[in-house]
């Protein structure tokens, strides 16, 4: 995928105030506040890249079910089927955040590597509790300036919160922002380090896309929101596609942001899993960094060797990470559950032509136990091996007591 540095594209953006309803990011004067189910615990689940490749959308459309009387879809245009195997893993969290790597703009058509999708996918998001999306990524401009505007309006119409990009409003001097929780307040900020397209001069003061490499602004954002939160999460769409490890430069910049107040970093963009690492900050905190969660749903099919571990990293694998924050005696403790997934991607046997596929993310432990393996007696052993290989790669930088890897 073609991209250029977001630092080059966005370095001349002026910081102006914008107020969205229930949006994630940094706030100067005020923050919207949303509340968890309980006062002493907050759970947030993170997924990897959601990419509406043509075969992904085609699979959804083929499974659209129309109610005869109303002539309306009863399964959100068929998009519900994409997520049916992971619904249980998502619906128990207070908030679920996905990287939405596509715009939603009429006429909702796309080309290879230039993405777009029907707004029905947003209803499918809500059906599985995806209530927050990151739109600061290299595909947000695939349908141009109007595509960004359309995407934001569609998200707002569905009451889905978004993070990382927005529309400037001249009367304000505020960054888009939100804080979650009652007694536990969690802040979120989101940035991209890569974009596929430049903004025209006339559009640069109308929309913004948060820039990971604009260090001065990011540090100011962190300082502002950290004062209002107990725990701060950064979403970072950075790195090199298909690289098995983060770059040295990105690691050093993440360390700087952690020193400034970030408590957790969730990475996207490489499309394969990268290791997790816990960094000690200057003030003695521990910042947990998942450098890349890999894909959540996509139609990619390549593998990439990590030379340090000998593990083949696949674009058909990813992680679902659930963060649980618990408050006890005025102390907040973070705990992470990590569930590896496989993007099950096979020819659709119901079709006569060879191009239609079934594409669904499935927890790997489900693949081992009860799904999709009836005709392959070796499949359980293959999946068990993949769980061990992913674990080896994930914990390359070390094993950590509060990061729990789910294998069964």
Closest residue by Cα to residue 42 from 233, 189, 186? 186
Q: Is 99 in contact with 49 (CB distance < 8 Å)? A: yes
Lowest mean pLDDT of 81-95, 145-159, 192-206, 363-377, name the range: 363-377
Q: Is 158 in contact with 21 (CB distance < 8 Å)? A: no
Q: Is 211 in contact with 22 (CB distance < 8 Å)? A: no
For the chain, the domain total comes to: 1
Output the six-digit token pair for 290. 């998942």
Q: Which residues contact 218 (CB under 8 A, 6 or more apart)?
A: 189, 191, 210, 211, 212, 257
Per-residue pLDDT, 145? 96
CA distance 262 to 281: 9
The burial of 152, by beta-carbon neighbours within 10 Å (0-12 exposed, 13-18 middle, 19 or more buried), is given as buried
Q: Is the pLDDT of residue 79 over 50?
A: yes
Q: Is the pLDDT of residue 349 over 80?
A: no
SS3 state of residue 281: coil
94-116 confidence digits (pLDDT tens): 999 999 999 999 999 999 999 99
Closest residue by Cα to residue 141 from 9, 296, 272, 24? 9
Q: Binning pLDDT at 50, 70 and 90, where does residue 311 land?
A: very high
Q: Is 348 in contact with 56 (CB distance < 8 Å)? A: no
| Residue 90 domain boundaries | 4-405
Q: Is the pLDDT of residue 8 over 70?
A: no
Q: Is the pLDDT of residue 43 over 60?
A: yes
Highest-pLDDT range among 6-15, 21-30, 125-134, 341-350: 125-134
**Predicted structure pTM score:** 0.89
Residue 7, φ and ψ in degrees, nearest 5: -60, -40
242-277 confidence digits (pLDDT tens): 999 999 999 999 999 999 999 999 999 999 999 999
Q: Is the pLDDT of residue 367 over 80?
A: yes
Per-residue pLDDT, 381? 82
Count of residues making up the chain: 408
CATH code at 32? 3.60.21
Higher pLDDT, 33 or 360: 360
Closest residue by Cα to residue 321 from 355, 293, 359? 293
Q: Is 212 in contact with 237 (CB distance < 8 Å)? A: yes
- Work out the average pLDDT over 315-337: 95
- Work out the average pLDDT over 77-91: 96
Higher pLDDT, 371 or 195: 195
Closest residue by Cα to residue 99 from 50, 172, 29? 50
Output the six-digit token pair for 115. 């993405």
CA distance 130 to 217: 29
Per-residue pLDDT, 40? 86
Per-residue pLDDT, 51? 98
165-210 confidence digits (pLDDT tens): 998 875 444 455 667 777 899 999 999 999 999 888 888 889 999 9
In the chain, the largest separation of any two C-alpha atoms, in whole Å, equals: 64
Per-residue pLDDT, 38? 60
Residue position matching structure tokens 């128990």: 92
- Work out the average pLDDT over 215-219: 95
Q: Is 237 in contact with 270 (CB distance < 8 Å)? A: no
Closest residue by Cα to residue 154 from 206, 210, 103, 82? 103
């Amino acid at each position: 995928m073609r991209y250029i540095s977001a630092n080059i594209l966005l370095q001349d953006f002026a910081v102006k105030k914008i107020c969205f309803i229930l949006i994630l990011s940094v706030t100067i004067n005020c923050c919207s506040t949303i509340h968890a189910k309980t006062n002493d615990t907050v759970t947030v689940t993170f997924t990897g890249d959601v990419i509406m490749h043509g075969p992904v959308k085609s699979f959804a459309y083929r499974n659209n079910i129309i109610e005869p009387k109303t002539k309306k879809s009863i399964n959100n245009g068929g998009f519900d089927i994409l997520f049916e195997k992971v619904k249980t893993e998502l619906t128990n969290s207070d908030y679920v955040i996905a990287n939405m790597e596509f715009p939603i703009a009429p006429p909702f058509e796309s080309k290879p590597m230039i993405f777009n999708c029907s707004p029905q996918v947003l209803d499918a998001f809500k059906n599985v509790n995806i209530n927050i999306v990151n739109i600061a990524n290299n595909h947000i401009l695939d349908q141009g300036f109007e595509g960004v505007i359309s995407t934001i309006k569609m998200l707002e119409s569905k009451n889905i919160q978004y993070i990382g990009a927005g529309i400037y409003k001249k009367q304000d001097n505020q960054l888009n922002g939100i804080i979650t929780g009652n007694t536990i307040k969690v802040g979120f900020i989101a940035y991209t380090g890569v974009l596929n397209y430049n903004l025209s001069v006339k559009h640069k003061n109308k929309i913004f896309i948060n820039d990971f490499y604009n260090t001065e602004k990011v540090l100011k954002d962190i300082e502002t929101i950290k004062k209002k939160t107990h725990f701060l999460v950064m979403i970072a769409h950075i790195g090199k596609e298909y690289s098995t490890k983060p770059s040295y430069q990105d690691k050093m910049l993440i360390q700087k942001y952690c020193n400034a107040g970030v408590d957790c970093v969730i990475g996207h963009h490489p499309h394969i899993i990268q290791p997790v690492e816990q960094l000690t900050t200057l003030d003695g905190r521990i910042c947990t960094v998942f450098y890349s969660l890999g894909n959540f749903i996509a139609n990619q099919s390549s593998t990439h060797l990590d030379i340090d571990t000998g593990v083949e990293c696949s674009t058909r694998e990813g992680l679902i990470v659930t963060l649980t924050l618990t408050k006890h005696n005025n102390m907040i403790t973070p705990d992470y559950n990590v569930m590896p997934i496989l993007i099950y991607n096979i020819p659709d046997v119901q079709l006569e032509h060879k191009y239609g596929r079934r594409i669904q993310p499935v927890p790997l432990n489900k693949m081992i136990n009860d799904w999709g393996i009836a005709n392959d007696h070796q499949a359980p052993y293959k999946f068990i091996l993949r769980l061990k290989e992913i674990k080896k790669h994930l914990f390359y930088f070390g094993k950590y007591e509060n990061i729990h890897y789910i294998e069964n």
